[in-house]
Amino acid sequence: MPLARTITASLAALLAACTACAATAAVPAGAPAGVAAGIPDAAAGEGSALSYRDAYRAMVVFDKYGGPKHLLQQQLQVLPAEPGAAAGAPGNAGEGLQLTLAGKTTRLHLPLDPLGRTVFPLQKAAYDENAALALNRNGAFTLRPRVTIALRADGIYDSADLRSACAQALDFARYVDASQRGRQCGAVRFVFARNGSGGVRLRREGAAEQALPALPGAAFAGEPDAGFPTVTWRFGAVAERAQLVTTTAPLAIVPVFD
């Protein structure tokens, strides 16, 4: 399969269907950690790591996208295959997990948030050198681009802005995969840190402020870790004027497509 077509299919799957879009690379015991970035034939073998150029080509699609995206953000997510080894997993199995970008003149340590995400650096020098991406842990894992809704410093989200952000994410999904044109924005999902006090309150004019129920779940559909506190706000058939106020900063706000 041509590289461009593979990258496009991977991005569409993660944005629109929220299913696994990255291939898993099995790393032999004792070998440096390898990477697969949504490209089946890019699995790292013994003593090697994924080319930065391959990951760059997948991530730069969003950067070059010309449609509205000011309400969105993109990050790269690392998902170890071993249960409980993810960055935000219970216990300390995922503690200290980080991605490293290393080339002739480039060396960056990319720490991961509790969802296993990091900001991917788009660097010409690293691309020219074809730098390597490696995890500081042996074992199989995947890399996935993740597009979510940008967080606000004040924690106050207007319902109209959330609708617009979800629409921007859906437009991008349709841009990379025309088969997503039949889907619609259904909701947004607030994801909070494990064992935290995060929550969302609904504020409507002329009504008492209401706490929305938080339920344990996965940050992204299809992921095995369903232990994050999540609050889902579904859009009504008719747009209403309301604000959603977070009590603490969420880890992510995920657009949900129906």
On whether the CB atoms of residues 207 and 222 are closer than 8 A, the answer is no
Q: Domain limits of the chain?
A: 3-147, 152-257
* Lookup: tokens for 209: 């402020």
Distance CA 226, CA 68 (A): 31
Q: Hey, what are 143's tokens?
A: 């890399």
Give the model confidence (pLDDT) of 142-186 as tens digits: 788 999 999 999 999 999 999 999 999 999 999 988 888 899 999
Is residue 242 within 8 A of residue 202, CB to CB? The reply is yes
Which residues of the chain fall below pLDDT 70?
1-48, 83-86, 88-95, 139-140, 238
242 within 8 A of 210, measured Cβ to Cβ: no
Residues 119-139 have pLDDT tens digits of 999 999 999 999 988 888 776
> Exposed e or buried b for every residue in 68-93, given b needs 16+ CB within 10 A?
ebebbbbbbbbbbeeeebbbbbeeee
**Cα(40)–Cα(23) distance, integer angstroms:** 5
